[in-house]
Structure 1
C-alpha cells in the first residue's frame, strides 16, 4: 500500500509499506528519502504518536493514509544539512528518481524496488555530502569540457 508522509514544514513523500510493516520501517524510509535522522523523527497518525515496535495494522492504517513526521531538532551534522538540501531539490532530481523507480519496478517487487531506491538515494546523498565545493567544481568542469559546452 502507498502512504503519504508529510513533514510539518510542508515537505512530503510517498512510500510503500504493508500492514505488517513496523513504524521503524517507515522511519527508515523517511530517513532515506527526506534525510531526517531516525532519532529525530516522531511519527503521528491522526494526531496520535506512533510507537516504533508496533505494526501499521495495529493503527488500522490503510493505503492512501497520511502520516505526519515531526522532525525534532537534534545534532544534525553539516553532511545531514547538505543531504537534506539535495534531496529537497525535487525540480532537478525528481525525474531521475522517478525513472530509476520505474526501471527497478520492472525487475523487482514494488516493495523491494522502493527499498533499493531508498538505499540508492541514501548512498547518493552521503557521497554528495562528503564532497567539498572544490570537488564539485572539478566534477562540473570536467563534465562541461566533456560535452563541449562552456
Structure 2
C-alpha cells in the first residue's frame, strides 16, 4: 500500500474515531443529566413529603390530602420515567464505548501498518545510502590506485 494511501486511511479512521468519541461524550452527558434529574425528582418528592407531614400535624381535610397524594403519585411516575431514560442512556454509553474501542483498534492497526511501512522504507533508504557510500569508497580506492 502506498505511503499516501496509508496516510489517507489513517486520517479517515481517526476522523471516525473522533466522531465515536463525540457520540460517547454525548451519551455520557445525557446519562449524567438523567442521574441529576432523578436525584432532583427524589429530592423534590422528599421535600413534598415533609410538607405533607407538617400539614398533617396541623390537620388536613380529605381533599387537600388527596391533592398531596395525587401529586406524590405524579412525582413517583416522573421518577420512574427518568429512571427508564437513565437506563437507556446508560445502555447507549456502553454501546458507544464498544464502538469507540473497536474504532480505536482500527486506528491502532493502521498506525501499526504505517510504522511497519516506514521501517521498511528506512531500511531501503539506509541500504541505498550504504551502497552510495560503498560506491564512493570504491571510486576513491580506484583513483588512488591509478594515480
Normalised to the residue count of structure 2, the TM-score between the two structures is: 0.20
RCO higher in structure (CA 8 A, sep ≥6): 2
Q: Which has the higher helix share?
A: 2
The structure with more radius of gyration:
2
| Larger strand proportion of the pair | 1
- TM-score by length of structure 1 reads 0.20
